[in-house]
Amino acid sequence: MTVKTRILLGVTGGIAAYKSPDLVRRLMERGAEVQVVMTAAAQKFITPMSFQAVSGRPTRSDLWDSAAEAAMGHIELARWAQLVLIAPASADFIARLAGGRADDLLATLCIATEAPIVIAPAMNRVMWANKATQANVDTLMARGVRVLGPASGNQACGEIGAGRMWEPLQLAESVLEPPANAGLLTGLNVLITAGPTRERLDPVRYLTNRSSGKMGFAVAAAAREAGAHVTVVSGPVHLPTPTGVTRIDVESAREMYAAVHRHIGEADVFIAAAAVADFQPVTVAKQKIKKQGVSVKLELEPAPDIVKSVADMAKRPFVVGFAAETDNVEDNARSKLKRKKLDMIAANQVGDGIAFDCEDNALTVLWPGGKSEVTRGPKIDVARTLIGLIADRLPPPDGSPRRGTRKRRPPPPADSRARLRSRRVRR
């Protein structure tokens, strides 16, 4: 007997809700069992009876339904679901989900479930572009929530732009197919650095840079999605930790160096995505440096080179560096790749409004004898592509040369952890 995928479909308030009954049908055509949960706002656009007719199950909407809640119905549904799909996901619901609210049945289910959550945003183009909406989406993505869409085109309000919900067929195909990177790093330990470092000048001042940590955290989320055990050593950032990722917070380059070397012995892959300070003060003033109307000279020395220190290890993991450049991006990255003896480097151009503290990125990924361009897109999508490139370049478990390009490998059996450990590169 075929086991059906149990999908909890959340429908929120928006005109795109009229597409959701067709989405139920598309999901069921592909072997899914669908339970619909509606918000109060959704019922202003379409009736619960419409969903009951196509799903064959009573539609749920009330957190305070005495009959259902006598048996803790919201917990029962949260455990029943193997996947939670919110389509359409309104700006209001995205904000409530990002804030961890539990003020209706659907929101409560989302924080009570351990199932993966997927959202399909649908709203006016200006609402989608609003900084608050984008920040909420970024928060959800960092927590491992998968975001499908929105598409661009004509909208119900008469405007044209991004904000249309994906079509039901596209959504059904997307959620019932495994992520492209699923299983690529199963059983491997990945250690990642992310964010900036702060180098103290005195008790109140420090040297730092504009890194937000978003790219490093996206790489962490993508590696976890690919099945790896992920640890992030992060400089000071204001980002939630991706679901399933272990986080270690540090401040200075010295602290990051020490944290990396405490954990590098277990790593199969090391990805140095942090924007570590190149220089640090020779001495740190014990008292605040006073403004006295004269110039102040700072004596700086090189900060620890974390990625080179890992690449120089006798028994080392697969080492991936990052190169943030303002000019001659590829040439400078190739020089760093060779000089520091890295296995791979991901280079990107930075500057005002480019890469740092932005929601999207583009990479030029280089390795000895090879190159791949990752086109500009949301950082989580760029990170997924990078993880795929890394997985493709990892030496096979038996140490033999890899032939061709691997698009996807199935997850290894449960007893393969020891064999996967042999992927370590020996220098």
The set of catalytic residues is 157
Dist. CA 189–CA 268, nearest whole Å: 5
The closest of 39, 45, 56, 41 to 19, measured between CA atoms, is 45
Dist. CA 165–CA 162, nearest whole Å: 9
Q: Is the backbone peptide bond immediately before 150 cis, with ω within 30 degrees of 0?
A: yes
φ and ψ at residue 335, rounded to 5 degrees: -65, -45
Taking a C-beta distance cutoff of 8 angstroms, is the pair 153, 163 a contact? no
Task: Record the tokens describing residue 215, joined without a space.
Answer: 């790219």
The closest of 217, 228, 264 to 391, measured between CA atoms, is 228
